[in-house]
Structure 1
């Protein structure tokens, strides 16, 4: 089965399921669906950053500071966060990613409910070649510099999640 044939839940602006459709149809018709973003940090606190493969359906060859993806039909956010993190990082045995916040992304590529999570990954990673063309662990300051420079083409939804996560962290007393 191709990625375009995977069946997704279609949801409304309140994140209530209203139906199901193949991913290709969801994208073509601009239907709202669900997605998870997982920021992976290593033992040193560095953030996993990668460039998506040129064969991805959405934002091919763009950089991202999250792993994640769409939820399959009937899948919950927590299950999808762990599944996607383990798949994209190429590991097994990650702790359950910590849920942080949810927002409705509306921008280039469409609209989807996006649940941002974070996980600590101390395992050696072996990213899926079908998903990840390049990767590195970057210190938070270097990631912030690369985002500010604008030289790398970032996935727009990941960039929005990154900005919201930075604002979320700034509001917390520890800023962590």
Structure 2
């Protein structure tokens, strides 16, 4: 089964399931769905940053400071966060990511998706999925902030990063 055939829950503006559809149809028709974003830090506290592969359905070849993806039909945000983090990082035995907050991301063209934001430490070596990750590194947060204006970032990840930064600054 291709990723476009994966079945997703379609949700309303309150994050209540109103139906199901294939991922390809969800994207093509701009149906609201669910995603999990996981900020990963190594043992030294550096952020995992990566560039997406050019064949991704959404935001190909852009940089991201989160791993993650869509929440499958009937799957919880928490389960999706752990699954996505382990898959994209190429690790097993990762601690369950800690839920931080959820927000409705709107892309400005009428499309939106619920975005649950998590964080997790990954003390083990990573072997990112070659189908998902074209380049990766663990970067100090100061360097990530410098790169915000230099690199082209996925817009939903950037929105999550800005919200997370604001949350931590107001503490």
Q: TM-score, normalised by structure 2?
A: 0.98
Residue 164 of structure 1 aligns to a residue whose secondary structure is: helix
Q: CA RMSD in A?
A: 0.9
Aligned to 2:59: 59
Aligned to 2:154: 155
How far apart are the structure 2 equivalents of 1:108 and 1:125?
A: 34
DSSP 3-state at the match of 2:91: coil
CA distance in 2: counterparts of 1:115 and 1:25, whole angstroms: 22
Displaced runs of 4 or more, over 2 A: none
Identify the residue that residue 97 of structure 2 maps to in structure 1.
97
Contact 1:38–1:66 at 8 Å: present in 2 too? yes
Task: Find the residue that maps to 2:158 and give its secondary structure.
Answer: helix
Task: Tell me which residue corresponds to 1:168.
Answer: 167
Task: Give distance in 2, aligned partners of 1:171 and 1:152.
Answer: 26
Please name the residue that 2:8 is paired with: 8
1:126 aligned partner? 127
CA contact (8 A) 1:89 1:125 kept: yes
1:171: how far off?
Answer: 1.5
- Structure 1: distance between partners of 2:45 and 2:60: 27
- The CA distance in 2 between the partners of 1:72 and 1:64, in whole Å, is 21
Q: Is the CA contact 1:108–1:156 (under 8 Å) kept in the aligned structure 2?
A: no
User: 1:9-29, CA deviations, whole angstroms, 9 ceiling, x for partnerless residues?
Assistant: 000000000000000100111
Q: TM-score, normalized by length of structure 1?
A: 0.95
